[in-house]
Structures are given as C-alpha cells and as structure tokens.
Amino acid sequence: MYDAGAPVRSLWEETAPPLADGADTGPNGDETCDVAIIGGGFTGLSCALHLARDFSLDVRLLEAGPLGWGASGRNGGFCTLPPMGLSLDGLISRYGEAEAKHFIASQVEATRFVRSFAEDEGIDIEPQGEGELHVAHAPSRYAELEHERDLLTGTFGIPARLIPREEVAREWYDSQEQFGALHVGAGFGLHPLRFVRGLAEVAARAGAKLHGHSPVTQWEREGAAHRLVTPSGTIRASRVVVATNGFTRAPMPVTLAHNVLPVMSNIVVTRPLSEAELDTQNWRTETPCANTRNLLFYYRLLPDRRFLFGARGDLTGKPEDGFRMRRFMERRLGEVFPGWAHVETTHSWRGFVCMAARLTPSLGALPDDESVFFALGYHGNGVAAAPWAGRLLAQLIGGKADSADIPAPLRGPPRSIPFPALRRWYLKGALGYYRVMDL
C-alpha cells in the first residue's frame, strides 16, 4: 500500500491525458527554497500553486510516486461534503452553532471552488450530476434523513429535499437497499486524475517546482532551516508543509504520523452498461449517491455508462485480501442491484483515506514548531476539502489568513491516539462494530 512505485491500475489511469511536459521537473539535486511541500495530491498541489502564484514564493513539492499517486488520483470523484465522521448534531454540540456554520459554509465554498477553478483554467474534469443523493439503506434511516434535511436547510442554508421511496424509484433509480433519499444541493462528480493533473500543470505554470518520484526519506533540522533528503538530492527550506494525508508516517513529525488512522477504501468499476441493463434498475441519474450504512457504499454512473461502486474495509493491504474484497464488492453490488448481478467488473483498486480521533480534519502549524504546516484527515471526503485546505495553508503561510480563518472543527493538530501501535486493532474493532450495526 505504501510502495509509491506500484502502479494504481485505476480506470482513471486509462482515461486521463498524461501530464504535460515540464509539469514534473524530475530529480531535484541539492536546492534551497522558501517552502517545501511533502505530498503531491490535491492538498500539496493546491498549496504549491497558491504559494507560487499569489505570494511569489519559491516552492518545491516532493511526491514519493508520480504526481497524484495517492488518494487524489484514485478516488471515487465525489466532490461533495462534508469531510468529517461526525453527525451534523455532533458538530454543533461540540463546536457550537457559529463555528459549525463557519465550517460547513467553507466546505460548500470548497465544492464551488473546484468547479470554478477547473472552468477558469480549462481543465476538463468531466463534471457530472448536481448535488449528492443520500439514500436510506433501511426503512428506519429515512427518519434520520428527515432530521438531516431540517438541519441542512434550517441551520446551514443548504438546499436539501427529502424524496420518498416511490419517487426515487420512479425518477432516480431503484434497488434492494433504497428506502427513500435526501438530495443535498451541493457538490457533483468528477474525474479525479484529470483534476489532479490539471492542477499540477497550473501549479507548474505558476512557477512551483514539482518533483515526482522523490520520496522524503529523512527530515533534519539545520538551525532554523529544514533539510529534506530524497534519493536524488536534498531540499533546504525555512518552512515545510506536510500534505501526506492517509500516507502519513515517518519521517513526518510524530504529532501527525502517530495520530492519524489510515483506512482502506476500495472501488470496483463495471463494463459499460447497455440502456436495457440500466432500465432493469430504472437508473436515470448521473448524481453521485451514497447510502446511510456506517460502512457506506458509494456509487455513481460514469460518462461512458460504467458503474462505479465503492466501499470501505480490509485491514491488511495484502494482494490476496484485495482480491477477496473485490469478490465481496461484486457480490454486494449484485445483491443491491440484482439486475446487474451478471455484469462483470473490469477494474478494481484501493487506497488510504485518513481518519482521526476528533472525527474532523486538522489544519494549521505545529504548536511546537510554527514553521511546519499541515492539512490532513479528510475522513474520506477530500476531493473538495483538500484543494480548499491547500489554498488556506498557502494563505496562512503568505500572511493573508490567520488561525481565526480556520474553522474551529479543523484548527490545530490531530488529537492524540493512545498507544498508536494498536491503531490497526482499534480499526478492526470499529469495523466489526459497524458491520453489526449495519445488519
């Protein structure tokens, strides 16, 4: 899972144009810069772009694999909200209504930022659908969606419409796990690798120097400066940004590396479905859908009529367990959508999303070293949140924003996880518990 030399083999890899010449400047040699960024996904690339373009800072980005190799180039393409594991009620009770609103408004803005940025820069991200459909997977969950609708519309001012089971079946789709839905009027679907490569090209044009295939293997202090060592050279910088999300581990600072929980998310994609096959489930939408399971299924119809189906799970990252997960997902896809039980999948891949104990992302500077910045822990929802977070990091570093601009649910480093060596066991317990709850 951590071998950045291993190809991802996603559908996106087959369908995205290659990175333009000059966007990845290759091996770095020994260099000095203002800001070094570790991690070449949405967070790191957006931060690099905004530092170079808006603050004229000298930026070097170091990515272990090809640019976008991590979750950013291989996710489900749901540009939706919110990036957290808390319920809306939980968010309000923990941070108060004003900060909860600040946070949710920032994430609505994040989805808009992605769309308008791509339009302005001429990046064809293949946008699809309007908003997101939250589907009750059991009858009892419909009442919860009603409460969520009231909060979204009443407290947060986000358009949301509750749709009874019969109407969903008639106008959107039908399945064995469809008991009504909530349409949330924010977000859309996109092609993630097209977006990440487009972002990289814009960042390179703005003057950021991007180095793929450059894993940081050592991180040392030289007085006030940081020295990052890669196999092909070193970078000296006065400030460092950690943008490694679910792939965060040594040599990143312990405050970050020990206090995030990488969780595997898995995707299968079918061959293109015929109109007759789509009709068997009355499928009529390009809007991204996710259901109300704790271990949620997320799914959407792609522009060429392939069906993308995603699920969290698996603890080892071993190829044989990946193969078992693929079989499990094919079986569940056929159970939920019986009309497609015979349809073969052509692609499957997986990667790490990043959870944390406080159930919200973390953004800011380290309390014990304010020259080290970070943004991570998007709880599986970073397509909108991570580019937005990268921009906010750039504004913090450039002096255009301060900590009051960070919504409180995100402010500061992740909360400590006791006995971090046991994290996989905690995850095993949580997955087992959620599996039972979902039954």
Ligand X SMILES: Cc1cc2nc3c(=O)[nH]c(=O)nc-3n(C[C@H](O)[C@H](O)[C@H](O)COP(=O)(O)OP(=O)(O)OC[C@H]3O[C@@H](n4cnc5c(N)ncnc54)[C@H](O)[C@@H]3O)c2cc1C
x/- contact string, 74-93, with ligand X (CB under 6 A)? xxxxx---------------
**The one among 16, 33, 35, 38 contacting ligand X by CB under 6 A:** 38
Which range touches ligand X (CB under 6 A), out of 48-56, 60-68, 121-129, 334-342?
60-68
Q: Which of residues 135-164 bind ligand X (CB under 6 A)?
A: none
Q: Which of residues 244-303 bind ligand X (CB under 6 A)?
A: 244-247, 265, 267
Residue 31 burial by Cβ neighbours in a 10 Å radius (0-12, 13-18, 19+): middle
Q: Report the C-alpha gap between 287 and 432 in whole angstroms.
A: 30
Token digits of residue 243:
């943008």
Supply the minimum distance, in Å, between the C-beta of residue 383 and ligand X.
Answer: 3
Residue 334 burial by Cβ neighbours in a 10 Å radius (0-12, 13-18, 19+): middle
Q: Does 111 participate in binding ligand X (rule CB under 6 A)?
A: no
Q: Does 72 participate in binding ligand X (rule CB under 6 A)?
A: yes
Give the residue with the Cβ less far from ligand X, 47 or 92: 47
Q: Does 71 participate in binding ligand X (rule CB under 6 A)?
A: yes
Q: Report the C-alpha gap between 80 and 152 in whole angstroms.
A: 14
Q: Count CB atoms within 10 A of the CB of residue 36.
A: 27
Q: What are phi and psi of 21, to 5 degrees?
A: -55, 135
Closest CA to 34 of 220, 209, 201, 231: 209
Q: Are 363 and 409 in contact (CB under 8 A)?
A: no
Q: Report the C-alpha gap between 214 and 62 in whole angstroms.
A: 6
The SS3 assignment for 298 reads strand
Supply the minimum distance, in Å, between the C-beta of residue 122 and ligand X.
Answer: 22
Token digits of residue 55:
């603050």
Supply the minimum distance, in Å, between the C-beta of residue 215 and ligand X.
Answer: 4
**The one among 383, 393, 394, 410 contacting ligand X by CB under 6 A:** 383
x/- contact string, 210-229, with ligand X (CB under 6 A)? -----xx-------------
Q: Does 373 participate in binding ligand X (rule CB under 6 A)?
A: no
Give the residue with the Cβ less far from ligand X, 351 or 409: 351
**Residues contributing to the site for ligand X (CB under 6 A):** 4, 38-44, 62-65, 69-72, 74-78, 215-216, 243-247, 265, 267, 310, 350-353, 376, 378, 380-383, 386
